[in-house]
Structure 1
Amino acid sequence: MKLSVWTYEGPPHVGAMRVATAMNGLHYVLHAPQGDTYADLLFTMIERRNHRPPVTYTTFQARDLGSDTAKLFRDACQAAYERFKPQAMIVGASCTAELIQDDPGGLGAALGLPIPVIPLELPSYQRKENFGADETFLQIVRTLAKPTDRSARVSCNLIGPTALGFRHRDDITEITALLNDMGVEVNVTAPYGATPADITRLGAAHFNVLMYPETGESACRWMERTLDQPYTRTIPIGVGATKDFVEEVAALTGCIPRLDTDRLRLPWYSASVDSTYLTGKRVFIFGDGTHVATATRIAREEMGFEVVGIGCFNREMARPIRALAKDIGVEALISDDYLEVEGRISNLAPELILGTQMERHIGKRLGIPCAVISAPVHVQDFPARYSPQMGVEGANVIFDTWVHPLVMGLEEHLLHMFREDPEFNDAAGPSHHAHGAKQVSDAPDPIGAQIIWLDEAERELRKVPFFVRGKARRNTEAFAEARGDSQISVETLYEAKAHYAR
């Protein structure tokens, strides 16, 4: 274990909380010390939920370790059942409580409660949050889902959305409408909004729509084997992927593929004259595996960006992300160390970052625009407005989210043009970044550490827009170094510009 200012994923019991909090009629009894009882902050402050998570803690203290902590757990289970009257209960231990080996599963089963008690075995020191959510939902489905007659009309289950998920609430609405247009009904959405009774009805659907592999793929695989339900592999994020998803659903059901593209704005803009401002922009993409893979396709095929690097923090998705990176000719970064991610971004010096809230902070420090595409996210990424990522409207939202940071970059260029005006101060840095943030574009490159810029050349360099100034500096220094020059004059700057323009 290591201490960290930021973390991309919590321990696996946080993933279990995400499933429990997403559902109704399910209660989670967590064997945990006082210090592990922070779930209320995660869900009520970040997601802005109006209900506290359905979690009961044993909250044992140091003085309890010399007595019967197992009794504390049994008492907590009994009290939770009597107070909340849930349809089912999941029981487990936090990373700290795992060390005392009280066996919450066995203790919960021995209570003889008149509801299903589902034990969770989550290896806290080997796996993390997304695994915890995936495994928790799998155990709930394995315990409660049973074979049953199929629904009269073609129907599906939406699998994977949880609490604290990135735009999951709105994605459900968008995909439900898209399926309804094709004549496909949604049988159950789970875990988000489902009850344990709903889980018993999963088998009535003809197929499953896997919305988020990180939190639902294990359950889909189990239902494919046990309930004979195929599941979709395409994640409908982006125009191309949404069209592919519709075709996949049509192939599974025999329905006519139907997609209302009248609301789509991204393809028109991408083909317009204004889009030339976006073409070739160098982009670095980092987040959970699913959103990175879909963002890479959108960036390359629908926005005309140049993807210079991709990566993910969840090691369960390392293999497909490495394969994708190989296909597009870049090196994949699989890491949950934000300092390593920051180092890669600094070295690549992209013009746009697509990432998590961590990359947003990194972008502020480095002076690089960033759009958030994946959890973990901050409170501002749980908007009150309708803001999906999936489907037709999701494509519009993504376009706005990605383009606005770049448009702000153009606005900053205009501010630089008027930097001598008394209302502006060139040393203050771009207004939409942290005050006084160090600009990557203004920083000397290690390549040219021994090369001296003459004052006149430095003044001329300042006339270059800040968002490409770093590239101009590096190119000029590389040009001077190749010629053996130890100083850069205005003439050197323009000779370098002419050289790289060929």
Structure 2
Amino acid sequence: MKLAVWTYEGPPHVGALRVATAMKGLHYVLHAPQGDTYADLLFTMIERRDHRPPVTYTTFQARDLGADTANLFKTACQAAYDRFQPQAMIVGASCTAELIQDDPGGMAETMGLPVPVIPLELPSYQRKENFGADETLFQIIRHLARPMERTAHLSCNLIGPTALGFRHRDDITEVTALLEDMGISVNVAAPYGASPEDITRLGAAHFNVLMYPETGESSCRWMERELGQPFTKTVPLGVGATRDFVNEVAGLAGVKPRLDTSRLRLPWYAASVDSTYLTGKRVFLFGDGTHVAAAARIARDEMGFEVVGLGCYNREMARPIRALAKEYGVEALITDDYLEVERAIEDLAVELILGTQMERHIAKRLGIPCAVISAPVHVQDFPARYAPQMGIEGANVIFDTWVHPLVMGLEEHLLHMFRDDFEFHDAAGPSHHGGHAAPPPPDEPEPRQESAEVIWLADAEKELKKIPFFVRGKARRNTELFAADRGEKVISIETLYEAKAHYAR
């Protein structure tokens, strides 16, 4: 196993936890050692849920390994049913418990519990969290859903939203409104907010809306095959994708497409005078495959950015992301190593990062503006307010979320550039005091920056600091390359200007 300070995905049983926690009336019995219960914190602390995940752990300890851990599991399973009285149960093992091969599914089957008990076989050492969520939802639907008569009114199911998902709660509301505008009701949203009883009614819908392929595609493919329900392929993230989604749904449902754009602000904002200075910004995208693919289209076609790099951490999406990268003329980065991502960002000299919580940390270290577009995320990405990513309002939220780091970055650059001004230096008082502000501190010689190859003179180093922080590293490297090509060991302010003119040609 690979140990890391950061990880984009947990083991697959965390994906199962995301499904179980999203549902009502379902209980998860997890064969796991003491210590694996850390997963509870992901939901109560990060997602700020008002209740514990519906999970019972066996929490065996080292001393139990010489005894009957199988009986320990059965006892925990019976106690969970007696206490919570769920409509259905799922059972499985954590990555550590998988090693002792107790077969939770087989043991639970022999107990004769009066509710459906669904075993989960999640290969902890080959697959990860998104696979675990996808497989768990698939097994629940496969065991409980059956063909049935369609609803009298045109309806669909929303498939894929889970607990700990990036804005899944609000995306459900936004997509539901899009569908209702076309006269289509939502039969069941699963797993978020659904019960096992709701899952048995999935077959009544006329078609399925696949909201997040990472966590719902296996289920949609099974329902297409077994229940005769087609499913949507377009994820409504961004203005263009939302229009495409509405047209696709209209085609599946046999109705006229209808999209109320009265609340849409992104196109106007993106074309406004205040936004034109953002045109052509170099953007790097990284996250789960679905959000990266959608964000690339928004960045290039709707915001006017230049996509200089993109990638994803979930290898199940590697093929479509590689194909997309080829379309954008860049090389896809498929990795779960955040250090590789950081190196790519530095090499590309980007001006904006669109990524996960991990890229937010990388951006802070490199001094580059960043907006989060995908899980894994932290507490600040579970806002109390309504903040969807999908649909019309989602497009507005995306514009705000992406542009604000750039605007704040510009403000920070201006403050830094004018830091020696008599009104803005660190020792100055509030500017509204006018002539009574404190005098600027005495000038001190700037230390010269030296490396094994070049020496930066003080005036050149001072001028370099006037360049915006998010491209300053590239300017330094270009100037040093320019000087090296000319055989110069000392970089003066003249060298800096000459390098700038050279690379501007």
* TM-score when normalising by structure 2: 0.93
* Percent identity of equivalent pairs: 81
Q: Which residue of 2 aligns with 1:435?
A: none
Q: Which residue of 2 aligns with 1:176?
A: 176
Q: Which residue of 2 aligns with 1:458?
A: 461
Q: Which residue of 2 aligns with 1:326?
A: 326
Q: Which residue of 1 aligns with 2:259?
A: 259
Which aligned pairs between 1:237-316 and structure 2 lie closer than 5 A? 237-316=237-316
417-426 vs 48-57, greater mean Cα deviation: 417-426
Q: Which residue of 2 aligns with 1:195?
A: 195
Amino acid of the structure 1 residue aligned with 2:299 = A
In the TM superposition, residue 232 of structure 1 has moved relative to its aligned partner by: 0.4
Q: Is 1:403 aligned to 2:403, yes or no? A: yes
Q: Which residue of 1 aligns with 2:376?
A: 376
What is the CA–CA distance in structure 2 between the aligned matches of 1:72 and 1:59, rounded to whole Å? 9
Amino acid of the structure 1 residue aligned with 2:471 = V
What is the CA–CA distance in structure 2 between the aligned matches of 1:295 and 1:65, rounded to whole Å? 48
Q: Which of the numbers 477, 488, 493 marks the counterpart of 1:490?
A: 493
Q: Which residue of 2 aligns with 1:138?
A: 138
What is the CA–CA distance in structure 1 between the aligned matches of 2:134 and 2:366, rounded to whole Å? 35
Residue aligned with 2:307, SS: strand
Residue aligned with 1:220, SS: helix
Residue aligned with 1:371, SS: strand
What is the CA–CA distance in structure 1 between the aligned matches of 2:417 and 2:454, rounded to whole Å? 28
Deviations 1:89-126 (A, max 9, x none): 00001111111111100111110111100000000111
Which aligned pairs between 1:91-240 and structure 2 lie closer than 5 A? 91-240=91-240
In the TM superposition, residue 487 of structure 1 has moved relative to its aligned partner by: 2.7
Q: Is 1:474 aligned to 2:474, yes or no? A: no
Residue aligned with 2:183, SS: coil
Residue 98 to residue 480, structure 1, CA distance change in 2 (3 Å): same
What is the CA–CA distance in structure 2 between the aligned matches of 1:158 and 1:499, rounded to whole Å? 55
471-480 vs 110-119, greater mean Cα deviation: 471-480
Q: Which residue of 2 aligns with 1:393?
A: 393
What is the CA–CA distance in structure 1 between the aligned matches of 2:29 and 2:495, rounded to whole Å? 69
Residue 444 to residue 10, structure 1, CA distance change in 2 (3 Å): farther
Q: Which residue of 2 aligns with 1:432?
A: none
Q: Is 1:29 aligned to 2:29, yes or no? A: yes
Residue aligned with 1:405, SS: helix
Residue 444 to residue 190, structure 1, CA distance change in 2 (3 Å): farther
In the TM superposition, residue 160 of structure 1 has moved relative to its aligned partner by: 0.2
What is the CA–CA distance in structure 2 between the aligned matches of 1:465 and 1:348, rounded to whole Å? 16
480-489 vs 326-335, greater mean Cα deviation: 480-489
Amino acid of the structure 2 residue aligned with 1:343 = R
Residue aligned with 2:90, SS: strand
Residue aligned with 1:37, SS: helix
Amino acid of the structure 2 residue aligned with 1:485 = E
Contact 1:444–1:473, Cα closer than 8 Å, also in 2: no
Contact 1:155–1:184, Cα closer than 8 Å, also in 2: yes
Deviations 1:252-299 (A, max 9, x none): 111111111111111012222222211111111111111111111111
In the TM superposition, residue 66 of structure 1 has moved relative to its aligned partner by: 1.0
Q: Which residue of 2 aligns with 1:429?
A: none
Instruction: Give the unaligned 5+ runs of structure 1.
Output: 427-442
What is the CA–CA distance in structure 1 between the aligned matches of 2:466 and 2:365, rounded to whole Å? 22
Residue aligned with 2:123, SS: coil
Q: Which residue of 1 aligns with 2:63?
A: 63
Amino acid of the structure 1 residue aligned with 2:305 = F
Deviations 1:112-168 (A, max 9, x none): 111100000000111010000000000000000000001111110000000000000
Deviations 1:378-402 (A, max 9, x none): 0111000000000000001010000
In the TM superposition, residue 449 of structure 1 has moved relative to its aligned partner by: 5.9
What is the CA–CA distance in structure 1 between the aligned matches of 2:449 and 2:344, rounded to whole Å? 17
Q: Which residue of 2 aligns with 1:16?
A: 16
In the TM superposition, residue 39 of structure 1 has moved relative to its aligned partner by: 2.3
Q: Which residue of 2 aligns with 1:344?
A: 344
Amino acid of the structure 1 residue aligned with 2:121 = E
Deviations 1:165-208 (A, max 9, x none): 00000000000001000111100000000000100100111110
What is the CA–CA distance in structure 2 between the aligned matches of 1:482 and 1:228, rounded to whole Å? 67
Residue aligned with 1:38, SS: helix
What is the CA–CA distance in structure 2 between the aligned matches of 1:51 and 1:384, rounded to whole Å? 16
What is the CA–CA distance in structure 2 between the aligned matches of 1:45 and 1:61, rounded to whole Å? 26
Contact 1:369–1:409, Cα closer than 8 Å, also in 2: yes
In the TM superposition, residue 342 of structure 1 has moved relative to its aligned partner by: 1.3
Q: Which residue of 2 aligns with 1:360?
A: 360
Amino acid of the structure 2 residue aligned with 1:42 = L
Contact 2:449–2:461, Cα closer than 8 Å, also in 1: no
In the TM superposition, residue 422 of structure 1 has moved relative to its aligned partner by: 8.2
Deviations 1:453-474 (A, max 9, x none): 2222222222323233223223
Residue aligned with 1:309, SS: strand
Contact 2:367–2:469, Cα closer than 8 Å, also in 1: no
Contact 2:369–2:470, Cα closer than 8 Å, also in 1: no
356-365 vs 457-466, greater mean Cα deviation: 457-466
What is the CA–CA distance in structure 2 between the aligned matches of 1:82 and 1:466, rounded to whole Å? 60
Amino acid of the structure 2 residue aligned with 1:66 = G
What is the CA–CA distance in structure 1 between the aligned matches of 2:425 and 2:181, rounded to whole Å? 52
Q: Which residue of 2 aligns with 1:48?
A: 48
What is the CA–CA distance in structure 1 between the aligned matches of 2:455 and 2:273, rounded to whole Å? 40
What is the CA–CA distance in structure 1 between the aligned matches of 2:449 and 2:134, rounded to whole Å? 45
In the TM superposition, residue 356 of structure 1 has moved relative to its aligned partner by: 0.6
Contact 1:415–1:424, Cα closer than 8 Å, also in 2: no
Alignment size in residue pairs: 484
62-71 vs 158-167, greater mean Cα deviation: 62-71
In the TM superposition, residue 424 of structure 1 has moved relative to its aligned partner by: 4.8
What is the CA–CA distance in structure 1 between the aligned matches of 2:38 and 2:141, rounded to whole Å? 27
In the TM superposition, residue 476 of structure 1 has moved relative to its aligned partner by: 2.4
Instruction: Give the unaligned 5+ runs of structure 2.
Output: 428-447
CA RMSD of superposed structures (Å): 1.7
What is the CA–CA distance in structure 1 between the aligned matches of 2:125 and 2:425, rounded to whole Å? 51
